[in-house]
Structure 1
Amino acid sequence: MMTANLTRMKSFIILGFPGLSPQYYGYVSALLFLVYMCIAIGNIFILVFVLYERSLQKPTYLVFCHLALNDLTFGTVTLPKIIAKYWFGDSVIPFNGCIAQMFFVHYLGSAMSFILMVMALDRFIAICVPLRYPALITNNIISVLCGFAWFIPLPLMVAVVLRVLTLPYCKSNVIAQCYCDLISISSQACGEDVKIVELTSLCVAMFCLLLPLAFIIFTYISIIVVILKMSNVTGRKKTLSTCTPQIFITCLFYLPRCFVYLAYTIGFSFSLDIRIMLILLYSLLPSALNPVIYCFKTQDIKKTLMKKLKTSRIGIEVKLSI
């Protein structure tokens, strides 16, 4: 019976924004396409710029590369299908494609959480034990730590996906979301195992989000305490400026999620359109804004970028004068 149910569900339909009038489909698809282009261009630029510029190949900026790769992959996994829905009317996604998208959505979110933890560790050692920073944090060590950040959630998410695949699907095949996620897919399943899968996935999510968050909060509180103890005001501001990009990036990732989870916990309900909009915003906004934060809030990247632009402008003026 389970096999019959599984084979009957051959595809899902992405609902998107249910209250959106068809006359706005073109505008929404254009907006989402613009968001995707910002994500793709911004994060590819960061990857190429840091890897090309030897002066930026330091532990902190290598972490930025891992974040940029995560953001780029997340946007590529989630946005093309919802753009196709509103642009070409293609809202059907194969069952296996939906499961694969669900895996990457949750895996990339979990990996991002652990990468942010590595970034917090980098700033913690740089500010709290600066004399030991060159010995404790090197490019190789950061690469290994980021490798663990990518690997730790992998077996957990594979286990969750395998459990989802065993569920019998006997309800609607409509995904009330802009992309496939665990809640949307499991809500179309039936049987006693659904609750077990949802509980297991909740435990995995809490582990992958709350454990890094607890460490991040501890590190930044420690950093703030150390900064406040500094007697030199100039040194205090300079030290604080070195970790403001990381704080911005971390807040962009965690605060909207915490707001949505807290709202659900206290019983504050959103309409379906608002809920989908909130999830889309906290999923994609950091991916689009992070490259801007890297460029304008990180002194080394900003100075190097301005130097390159100035050199290019001078070169163009010389050629024109000749």
Structure 2
Amino acid sequence: MANQTGVYEFVLLGFPGLTERYNAAVSAVFFLIYNVSLFSNATVIGLIILKEHLHQPMYMVIANLALSDLIMDTATLPKMIAKYWFGHESLSFFACFLQMFFVHSLGSLDSFIIMLMAVDRFVAICRPLHYCSIITNKLLLLICLIFWLISAMIGLSIAIMGAQLPYCGPNKIKNCFCSLTPVSILSCVNSLMTRRIVFIIALVVHLLPLSFIIFSYVIIVWKIRLMAGSENWQKLFYTCTTHGFVIFFYFVPRLAVYTYNQFQLISNADFNVFLICLYTFVPHVASPIIYCLRTEEIKNTLVKVVRKAFSS
């Protein structure tokens, strides 16, 4: 790579049009988001690992999602906090593409894991009598491992494609972290083909799981309507709508930005970065609350742990 590029570091601009007087406020927001995500996701992972009665398929999937979000936030947010707090905005060439690997691999993993959660809900609601025989801990762990490996290969492929482009001039990235599109447009050569390949990969990685999620929710809602006489139908419907909140914020802005960037429909760089932060970080904060802390079993376990800690 060294003989292909004259750029040895990149500069993260974050929100390019933001004046310095807002730096403290932006860094405080990123700091708050990171700490809430760190605490909530770490709490969920710790409870599921330490409490044996939570060693169930659904909670294992939730733990994988929490771990993915925790790694993603740790790979991106501390650098943005340092940029706006201390002015440390540069990343080495290697660090940028390492971050790109995490961004694209974990972004893909979240899509797969959310789809797997939809599968779990679909079987639990539509085939409740056969749930235990279909969904097992061993099967879920194997599928999660496969998803981690596939996602790592996707992230590695994208990072390699980006790193192989020559960079010999501009090095200022209009984003809060290194991802393929804002980095590749800084290349000395036309990177349109690389961006199109990654765009196709992104469509496959996100549209296929989203299609299944939508299909499963249509069936689930139809099933809930048939259960209208049951006392649990309102609880099931409320659970589906709250889960839909996370799904909406994860997929819709992401696919919109991917499409817009291909056709350069967003001229406002700050708005583009805002949308990227919206679909990257908001679900990471909301997921532990919606998927976990609103789950009675996890919530009751957390209450018991807290009470025991304070009583001792």
Question: TM-score, normalised on structure 1?
Answer: 0.89
Please give the alpha-carbon distance, in whole angstroms, between the structure 1 residues aligned to 2:169 and 2:132: 57
Q: Against the structure 1 CA distance between its residues 117 and 10, is the aligned structure 2 distance closer, same or farther, given a 3 Å change threshold?
A: same
Counterpart of 2:296 in structure 1: which amino acid? Q
The Cα of 1:259 is off from its aligned counterpart by 4.6
The Cα of 1:310 is off from its aligned counterpart by 4.8
Q: What residue number does 1:320 align with?
A: none
Q: Against the structure 1 CA distance between its residues 231 and 286, is the aligned structure 2 distance closer, same or farther, given a 3 Å change threshold?
A: closer
Correspondences of 1:263-302 after superposition (within 5 Å): 269-302=266-299
1:121-168 alpha-carbon deviations (Å, 9 max, x no partner) = 111111111111000101111111111221223223322222222211
Whether 1:124 aligns to 2:103 is no
Pick one of 109, 112, 116 that aligns with 2:110.
112
Whether 1:221 aligns to 2:210 is no
Structure 1 gaps of 5+ residues are 317-322
Q: What residue number does 2:249 align with?
A: 252
Counterpart of 1:164 in structure 2: which amino acid? G
Please give the alpha-carbon distance, in whole angstroms, between the structure 2 residues aligned to 1:141 and 1:111: 17
The Cα of 1:272 is off from its aligned counterpart by 1.4
Q: What residue number does 1:240 align with?
A: 237
Please give the alpha-carbon distance, in whole angstroms, between the structure 1 residues aligned to 2:70 and 2:262: 31
Q: What residue number does 1:78 align with?
A: 76
Q: Against the structure 1 CA distance between its residues 3 and 31, is the aligned structure 2 distance closer, same or farther, given a 3 Å change threshold?
A: closer
Structure 2 gaps of 5+ residues are none
Is contact 2:126-2:223 (8 Å) kept? Answer: yes
The Cα of 1:236 is off from its aligned counterpart by 1.7
Please give the alpha-carbon distance, in whole angstroms, between the structure 2 residues aligned to 1:311 and 1:83: 35
Please give the alpha-carbon distance, in whole angstroms, between the structure 1 residues aligned to 2:154 and 2:301: 40
Q: Against the structure 1 CA distance between its residues 60 and 249, is the aligned structure 2 distance closer, same or farther, given a 3 Å change threshold?
A: farther
Q: What residue number does 1:211 align with?
A: 208
1:269-292 alpha-carbon deviations (Å, 9 max, x no partner) = 352112112211221111112222
Is contact 2:105-2:153 (8 Å) kept? Answer: no
Q: What residue number does 1:154 align with?
A: 152
Please give the alpha-carbon distance, in whole angstroms, between the structure 1 residues aligned to 2:36 and 2:206: 26
Q: What residue number does 1:91 align with?
A: 89
Q: What residue number does 1:319 align with?
A: none
1:87-132 alpha-carbon deviations (Å, 9 max, x no partner) = 1111110011101111111111001000111111111111111111
Q: Find the residue that maps to 1:152 and give its secondary structure.
A: helix
Q: Find the residue that maps to 1:93 and give its secondary structure.
A: strand
Q: What residue number does 2:132 align with?
A: 134
Which protein has the larger Cα radius of gyration, Structure 1 or Structure 2? 1
Q: Against the structure 1 CA distance between its residues 81 and 231, is the aligned structure 2 distance closer, same or farther, given a 3 Å change threshold?
A: closer
Q: What residue number does 1:303 align with?
A: 300
Q: Against the structure 1 CA distance between its residues 254 and 78, is the aligned structure 2 distance closer, same or farther, given a 3 Å change threshold?
A: same
The Cα of 1:83 is off from its aligned counterpart by 1.1
Q: Find the residue that maps to 1:170 and give its secondary structure.
A: coil
> Identity across aligned pairs (percent)?
38
Q: CA RMSD in A?
A: 2.3
Q: What residue number does 1:27 align with?
A: 25
Please give the alpha-carbon distance, in whole angstroms, between the structure 2 residues aligned to 1:157 and 1:136: 31
Is contact 1:117-1:215 (8 Å) kept? Answer: yes
The Cα of 1:297 is off from its aligned counterpart by 2.4
Please give the alpha-carbon distance, in whole angstroms, between the structure 2 residues aligned to 1:301 and 1:259: 34
Q: Against the structure 1 CA distance between its residues 303 and 65, is the aligned structure 2 distance closer, same or farther, given a 3 Å change threshold?
A: same
Q: Against the structure 1 CA distance between its residues 283 and 231, is the aligned structure 2 distance closer, same or farther, given a 3 Å change threshold?
A: closer
Stretch moving more, 23-32 or 99-108: 23-32
Q: What residue number does 1:171 align with?
A: 169
Question: TM-score, normalised on structure 2?
Answer: 0.91
1:180-204 alpha-carbon deviations (Å, 9 max, x no partner) = 1101110011325x22211211111
Pick one of 11, 15, 23 that aligns with 1:13.
11
Counterpart of 2:285 in structure 1: which amino acid? A
Q: Against the structure 1 CA distance between its residues 129 and 299, is the aligned structure 2 distance closer, same or farther, given a 3 Å change threshold?
A: same
Counterpart of 2:245 in structure 1: which amino acid? F
Q: Find the residue that maps to 1:179 and give its secondary structure.
A: coil
Is contact 1:70-1:108 (8 Å) kept? Answer: yes
Please give the alpha-carbon distance, in whole angstroms, between the structure 2 residues aligned to 1:195 and 1:86: 31
**Aligned pairs, number:** 312
The Cα of 1:53 is off from its aligned counterpart by 1.7
